[in-house]
């Protein structure tokens, strides 16, 4: 059955910021929903329904995250998007949206990674997996590390610039798949900072996750660290933030994407060749990116793992992949 709303047509960049935020706060319950507000994004807007965020390059349109709308309206929003016939690839979407694109629009829907989410109502520091968290927190306390939400932007920028020099991609920050540190709109984001002897040694920015006009969770999207404190402050910062969020009644923490962490079993909607390549890159491509290290770090929080997909027309989407890397400042 096809759904249509007579007289309703989509338009690129139609909504005002306030209109867009009204949809985001009501339906932005995916970990990348807030990141759709990053610079250089465009939006396919359908009044009364919602929007889809995207960027274009080399004749390819790449959307980011699930459509920001009521789940029952996803199909009509996607049908409106497809009216212009542009070559479109969907990046970092949920299994529900991926299967809809496969069933109704003929896309391959292939798992490209996993997300890990933590139920804050049940959170504690007990368990074998969390031993490394407990050890790291204790090291930070003994060293006198202080964690606070108060900060100085100049210090943050300095630390971020120093951190960038240590990265594989040193010319500029990764974009698109990771929203930039500086954005015009950052309302309801939370920022936690670690200091040692008065010097900033690390920070994590958390973006809000919404549902029905309430913040139901957060996702850590920006993290920067100094090499001064060798034991590291990521775990202490995260544990501190989790305890603050839990005390405020926040329900969940989504730790974000673990790229290329995929199931051993293939689904009928997937490109078997692309899935095989994803597994190969995870096993042998850690010289490009620390896929295994990132998954290990996030897995220590002992959360629930869910699949993350991409939807693509090609059996092996080489050009969309290259386009994504270009938009992300990785090539």
pLDDT digits (tens, 9 = 90+) for 75-125: 999 999 999 999 999 999 999 999 999 999 999 999 999 999 999 999 999
The bridge status of strand 42-46 relative to strand 190-196 is unpaired
Considering the domain architecture, whether residues 127 and 178 belong to the same structural domain is answered as: yes
> Which one has a higher pLDDT value, 42 or 230?
42
Question: What is the structure's pLDDT at 165?
Answer: 83
Question: What is the structure's pLDDT at 2?
Answer: 41
Dist CA 124 CA 126 (whole Å) = 6
Considering the domain architecture, whether residues 128 and 20 belong to the same structural domain is answered as: no
The bridge status of strand 108-119 relative to strand 11-12 is unpaired
pLDDT(1) > 60: no
pLDDT(3) > 50: no
What is the extent of the structural domain holding 23? 11-114+260-291+306-327
> Which one has a higher pLDDT value, 164 or 312?
312
- Structural domain contains residue 5: no
Question: What is the structure's pLDDT at 82?
Answer: 96
The token pair at 52 is 């889809």
The token pair at 143 is 């060293």
Considering the domain architecture, whether residues 145 and 193 belong to the same structural domain is answered as: yes
pLDDT(153) > 50: yes
Domain count, the chain: 2
Dist CA 68 CA 8 (whole Å) = 17
Question: What is the structure's pLDDT at 173?
Answer: 73
- Minimum mean pLDDT range among 45-54, 165-174, 229-238: 165-174
| Residue at token pair 């009044």 | 47
Q: What is the CATH number of the domain that holds 102?
A: 3.40.630.30
Considering the domain architecture, whether residues 146 and 108 belong to the same structural domain is answered as: no
- Structural domain contains residue 1: no
What percent of the chain shows pLDDT beyond 70? Answer: 95
Query: For the whole model, what pTM was predicted?
Result: 0.93
Average confidence (pLDDT) over 31-52: 97
pLDDT(290) > 70: yes
Considering the domain architecture, whether residues 61 and 138 belong to the same structural domain is answered as: no
Considering the domain architecture, whether residues 107 and 154 belong to the same structural domain is answered as: no
């Amino acid at each position: 059955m096809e759904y249509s709303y007579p007289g309703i047509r989509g338009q690129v960049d139609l909504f005002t910021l306030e209109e867009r935020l009204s949809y985001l706060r009501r339906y932005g319950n995916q970990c990348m929903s807030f990141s759709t507000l990053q610079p250089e994004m465009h939006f396919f807007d359908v009044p009364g329904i919602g929007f889809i965020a995207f960027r274009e390059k080399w004749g390819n349109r790449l959307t980011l995250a699930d459509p920001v709308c009521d789940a029952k309206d996803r199909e009509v929003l996607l049908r409106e998007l497809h009216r212009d016939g542009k070559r479109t690839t969907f990046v970092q979407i949920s299994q529900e949206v991926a299967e809809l694109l496969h069933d109704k629009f003929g896309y391959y829907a292939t798992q490209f990674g996993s997300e890990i989410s933590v139920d804050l109502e049940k959170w504690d520091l007990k368990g074998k997996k969390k031993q490394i968290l407990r050890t790291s927190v204790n090291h930070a306390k003994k060293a006198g590390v202080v964690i606070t939400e108060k900060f100085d932007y100049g210090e943050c920028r300095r630390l971020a610039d120093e951190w960038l020099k240590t990265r594989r991609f040193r010319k500029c920050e990764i974009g698109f798949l990771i929203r930039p540190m500086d954005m015009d709109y950052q309302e309801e984001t939370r920022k936690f900072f670690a200091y040692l002897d008065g010097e900033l040694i690390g920070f994590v920015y958390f973006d809000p996750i919404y549902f029905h006009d309430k913040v139901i969770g957060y996702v850590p999207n920006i993290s920067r660290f100094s090499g001064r404190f060798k034991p590291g402050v990521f775990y202490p910062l995260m544990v501190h933030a989790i305890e603050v969020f839990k005390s405020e009644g926040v329900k969940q923490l989504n730790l974000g994407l673990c790229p290329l962490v995929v199931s051993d079993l293939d689904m009928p909607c997937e490109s078997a060749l692309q899935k095989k390549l994803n597994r190969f890159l995870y096993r042998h491509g850690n010289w490009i990116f620390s896929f295994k290290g990132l998954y290990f770090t996030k897995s220590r929080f002992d959360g629930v793992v869910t699949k993350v997909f991409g939807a693509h027309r090609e059996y092996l989407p080489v050009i969309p992949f290259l386009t994504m890397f270009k938009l992300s400042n990785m090539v």
